[in-house]
Amino acid sequence: MRAVASYHAFRALRIGAPDRLRGAPPDLRTGDVTVAEELYSGLFTFHGRALHAGERSPFALAAPSREWRRALCSFAWLRDLRAANAPWARERAQGLISAFLECAPTRDDPAQEPGVAARRMLSFLAHAPMLLGQASPELQQGFMAALAKDGRLLARAVVRGRAKGAERLLCALALKEFAICADLSAETRAQAATLFGEELRRQILADGGHVDRNPQTALDLLLDLLALRSLYASRGAIAPQALEGAIDSMTSMLRMMRHGDGALALFNGMSVTAPGDLATVFMHEAPLGAPSFAPQTGYLRLAAGDALVIADAGAPPPKAFSRRAHAGTLAFEFSLGRERIVVNCGAPARAREAGREDVRASAAHAALVIGAESSCVFAPPSARRGAGLILAGPKAVKAKMARRRGCEIAVLAHDGYARRFGLVHRRRLALAADGAALHGLDHLLAAKPGGRVKVAPDLALHFPLHPAVEARLDESGRQVELTLPSGARLVFAAPDFAPTLEDAVYFAAPEGARKTKQIVIKAKAAAGARVRWSLRRIAAEAPQSAAGAEPG
């Protein structure tokens, strides 16, 4: 790794405690005064687990879970105390900082994990004015020493490889902010800039997506990158072009992944979209159009009228970034205005880990499944090393977009089932010019012309529905009638097939998992198998152009 040489420079310089901070990046995330009041009373609630510490130090008590301990020691909750904007909130924050500094972490303490230390450093830097205002000399000295200690931890974690996946970029970003705020030596700032620049180039793709393909990762990092840019401005410095370029491309990417309800599409670990986070991003960035195709990240977007389709057109992320990725290649979501219709099941919030592995399966997506097997192979959660990583999956993923008679068309294919069944899945989506109809064709082809196709069980096409959608089979049993909360009605039909309605679970609701329904079509999995289907609005007759654009 090229950054190894940087470590020796950091080690030789022995990052020391700064005398003072010469700047503070903003915390762009919204605080909650209600949470601040709970913290003041001694109640600490993180990831669905609560602990009432009273007047005792929460850092010295047994944590309800490791995830709870991570949240406590990240100090992200400082923004809630800041939101209270009162002397009692500042005093409570300073008291909790003192309690943390008095606590001696063990080697296995989640507080020592690189990702937690990075969040803590970003929180300390952003809220330093509140924490150090009217603070005792002992607290100020301890605070600066803690920053330096975490700085050394982060430098080692990045260059020695202890920081994995997206947290490597987070660690490098936190280290860079510390180097700027503490006004460390020019050599140290240069080394921090090198580590950050390398990770930024490695993880943020040219189209603005993150290499792990999770929209939430991109959103979280973008908020931190915007804060870093603001820090440059507050110091009267010009932000690096690479930082500006990443912010621009990431903002466009998030616009592409946003549905009409303002939330992000549910792919590759995405769960509930925090309502204020996207608004904050777009408030800081000039309006930009949403691209229709992100070839590096692997997503595409079809839009017509108030209808929108967002589809997964990419292979799984690199193995090191795949721990939370899903087997959803060629899956799609479909919405009308602010109402979602066909969805992926999403991912449970971090407070609700149960079911996280199940929703990674292809069957939890609007996708085609062969033999009840996912298009990816996952390492089991029980694996000693690499638990949850994607071990195998689609390698050749093709995506092509076109416009025909005013209709938006996407043609996709992946080979995730080629090795096991000798089959390639091809999907064609055509959105009518007025958005009144979505036509689909799912087609299985032999992976090798003339090659042997293994005997396989049935294929199943899954179309999970948003919990707000009412679904019922019509009298013929050949069509599914859908009613939206607004009263709009649609019909799902698949000529030559009888769809069924089955139970499903939707994990991306703010209140937690909700029961819902999914449309399922089953057929024989064989080369040449073709399933046509359509979603049409009942109230509007499909235009002539839509019929001509049906998959053929």
Condensed to tens digits (0 to 9), the pLDDT of residues 94-114 reads: 999 999 999 888 888 999 999
Contact 512, 349 (CB under 8 A): yes
Percent of the chain with pLDDT over 70: 92
Task: Give the max Cα distance, the chain.
Answer: 79
Inside any domain, residue 284: no
CATH number at residue 492: 2.70.98.70
**Least-confidence region, from 215-224, 322-331, 351-360, 405-414:** 351-360
Find the Cα–Cα–Cα–Cα dihedral 277, 390, 319, 395, rounded to 10°: -100
* Amino acid 79: pLDDT: 97
* Amino acid 107: pLDDT: 81
* Amino acid 14: pLDDT: 67
- How many domains, the chain? 2
pTM, 2 dp: 0.91
pLDDT at residue 241 greater than cutoff 70: yes
Inside any domain, residue 212: no
Inside any domain, residue 233: no
Last residue of a domain, one of 154, 171, 188: 171
* Amino acid 451: pLDDT: 62
Tell me which residue range forms the domain holding 360: 294-548
Vertex 288 angle, CA 122 and 224, to 5°: 5
Condensed to tens digits (0 to 9), the pLDDT of residues 422-448 reads: 999 999 999 999 999 999 999 999 998
Last residue of a domain, one of 105, 138, 171: 171
* Amino acid 109: pLDDT: 93
Vertex 251 angle, CA 248 and 252, to 5°: 90
pLDDT at residue 378 greater than cutoff 50: yes
pLDDT confidence bin for 542, thresholds 50/70/90: very low
* Amino acid 551: pLDDT: 46
* Amino acid 133: pLDDT: 86
pLDDT confidence bin for 16, thresholds 50/70/90: confident
Inside any domain, residue 213: no
Residues 381 and 515 in one domain: yes
Condensed to tens digits (0 to 9), the pLDDT of residues 115-145 reads: 999 999 999 999 999 999 889 999 999 999 9
pLDDT at residue 151 greater than cutoff 50: yes
How deeply is 236 buried, as exposed, middle or buried, from its count of CB atoms within 10 A (0-12, 13-18, 19+)? Answer: exposed
Coil/strand/helix, residue 356 = coil
Half-sphere exposure of 84 (CA within 13 A, CB side): 21
